[in-house]
Copies of this chain bind each other. A is one copy, B any other.
Amino acid sequence: MALAFRTDEAASVVRADDADSDRFIASVQNLRTACGDGLERVDDQILDALQSPVDMIPAVAGHLIKSGGKRLRPLLTLAAAGLYGYDGRDHVRLAAAVELIHGATLLHDDVVDESALRRGASTANVIWGNKESVLVGDFIFSRSFELMVATRNLTVLGILSRAAGVIAEGEVLQLGTQKNVATTFDMYLAVVEAKTAALFAAAAHVGAAIAGAPAAEVEALRRYGLNLGVAFQLIDDALDYSGVESSIGKTVGDDFREGKMTAPVVFALENADDEARTFWRRTIGGSDQQPEDLAEATRLVHSSGAIERTRREAERYAATALGALELAPAGPMRDALSELAKQSIERGH
């Protein structure tokens, strides 16, 4: 599901002509501004971490980082630390470490998903090859740990090393749901929580922890990140059946073509008649797809109410995220995090 990770990154390009998405982009920009020069420092930290005498490493890594978009995860770390007036430099290291875990995961996802065959020539595995993507991903992952260790804070080391394990577990779990039409919403959620939301959660969690926030608020920030992450992924998965193609960035329908059992398909199958069930079994379960099948899949997820239901679930998670945020100190930073959660579920509307 490189796609899922990719979508939010590319949203500014994909949906720049969409009014509500402009509001989402504005909410991200607002959060950036609230974090001062934090994100510039994160970018410097990342570039520094990816230096290597082995030429290919900065080349692949730089490509990955440059093509990455809005830096939502490191922003969560900066913002969570900022809520408590943190003024050291470890939040920058941790934000960079979070983004590097994300980047390493992207490189490996693109290999696993064989994305070379489907998307534009912009993925690292297309330009440099699968071997390079696997090994440079390992390098980035290692550098992420070095950055964490540099903070000399065992609490955040525990949080992030655990998150990395959960993400990998989620990726393996997803292999088991792919093309499996018996996948339930609970199974899907288990994948999303591990594969996507765990890093959102850890990002906010370590930001609050490094800033020395009270325990209950550290936990609240973790829950904010976790629930925001699930909401985000649900909307991403709905948008993959939005039917709006883009000339740049994400291609709508990738999830369908890759046989991914995302929420829209899970819900569509729950309400499917025999004919629809046969369609999903053939196209997702049996990987037997014709060019015209995407249009039919899109029609089915919309007519069955699956998109609406996916969005309702996202709203539920976003509301939980907002609830968790109430424990955090009031002020412009909390307002910015709150606005981000609200706008994240409006994408595509």
Contact = CB atoms under 8 A, between A and B. Distances in A.
A162 B147 CA distance: 10
A299 interface: no
Q: Chain A interface mostly helix, strand, loop or mixed?
A: helix
A172 interface: yes
Contacts of A169: 52-54, 57, 139
Indicate the size class of the contact surface on chain A: 35 or more
A149 B149 CA distance: 9
Interface in A143-189: 143, 145-146, 148-149, 152, 154, 157-158, 161-162, 164-165, 167-169, 171-173, 175-176
A4 B11 CA distance: 44
A108 B164 CA distance: 17
Interface string A85-123: 000000000000000000011001001100000000000
How many copies make up the complex?
Answer: 2
Contact of A138 (B53, B141, B157): B141
A168 B108 CA distance: 14
Contact of A149 (B138, B142, B158, B173): B158
A110 B52 CA distance: 24
B143 A154 contact: no
A56 interface: yes
A198 to B, nearest CB: 11
Nearest to A162: B146
Contact of A112 (B52, B53, B135, B149): B135
Contacts of A135: 108, 112, 168, 171-172, 175
Contacts of A52: 169, 172
Contact of A145 (B53, B139, B145): B145
Residue from the set A52, A108, A161, A167 with the largest chain B CB neighbour count within 10 Å: A161
17 contacts: A53-B169, A54-B172, A56-B172, A105-B138, A108-B134, A108-B135, A112-B134, A135-B168, A136-B172, A139-B168, A141-B164, A142-B164, A142-B168, A143-B165, A145-B164, A148-B161, A157-B157
